[in-house]
Amino acid sequence: MKSKFKLVALIGKYQTFFSNASVASSREALEAVARFLHAQGCEVVLEEDSARNMGLVGYTQLTAQQIGEQCDLGLVVGGDGTMLGIGRQMASYGVPLIGINQGRLGFITDVPYQNFAQTLEPMLHGDYVEDHRSLMNARVLRDGNCVYTAMAMNDVVVNRGAASGMVELRVEVDGHFVANQRADGLIIATPTGSTAYSLSSGGPLLHPSIPGWVMVPIAPHTLSNRPIVLSNSSHIAIEIVAGRDASASFDMQSLASLLHGDRIEVVRSEHHVRFLHPRGWSYFDTLREKLHWNEGVSPS
């Protein structure tokens, strides 16, 4: 049986701070997956930065935009950070993504590299579960002018400066004043991001099917300042009232420096990311594995 996906893009983890051994390991993993895809009748291309930084030759190289325009499937070999980066870029094109994790199981890269072939084969033939993840659009306004825009799959985080005290933030939801919050910062997280920084700051887990966001203060001055779940149709605005060297980060992968009076606005994106999982995949299985639930307890 031929693969349902004819043109497949491979995207690798290629951070410049990797050791030579790590780069070699990632290169070998990409080449192994490429050989498997060829055997399944797929045409394989490489994302150009992955190919260049890993020294891979002999493959057609495409930019992220070209992958979005031309490919039927994206295969990410790496971790959740790699998937976040390419997921945002593929969202507007609707290209589905599968994540192969070389290390520990990820929240969104959930195919273990050790047995990728037996897991991928039925998926390539159409036997998979599709999972859509929402995105946020954010912008920074300064004196009424937009000075920065970004998209986020996990979270938008407003943080205090590293060497300064708390920030004071004026928060509005749908034009309604919520509170002036004094804290180390504030997180607006999607259900996907509810297992990231939001979780470590005391936020709740949100199932991916929930059309909501969670707003979580980071080390608030007032203990009654608690996380709150909001509709993802909300328009959230955060204004910098006081505090030095504040910044806004988007999926912890891009950063904007902020001044007093700057306003960060967050709205739902019209796009979503398409993830494909193996048949039988369960969000709760992933939580149990990653969060070490039931350790030392035999399942009944």
Residues marked active site are found at 80
Report the distance separating Cα 3 and Cα 96, nearest Å: 14
Look up residue 116 and give its two tokens: 């990728």
DSSP of 3-24: -S-SEEEEEE---TT--HHHHH
Look up residue 113 and give its two tokens: 């590299």
Q: In a 3-state reduction of DSSP, which class is residue 196?
A: coil
Report the distance separating Cα 10 and Cα 4, nearest Å: 16
DSSP of 208-259: TTS-EEEEEEES-SSTT---EEEETT--EEEEEEE-SS-EEEETTTEEEE--
DSSP state of 42: -
> Which segments of 46-196 does DSSP mark as H helices, in order?
48-54, 64-70, 80-90, 116-124
20-39 vs 116-124: helix crossing angle, rounded to 10: 40
Report the distance separating Cα 160 and Cα 183, nearest Å: 8
The residue written with tokens 């579960």 in the block is: 129
Q: How far apart are the first and last CA of the chain?
A: 39
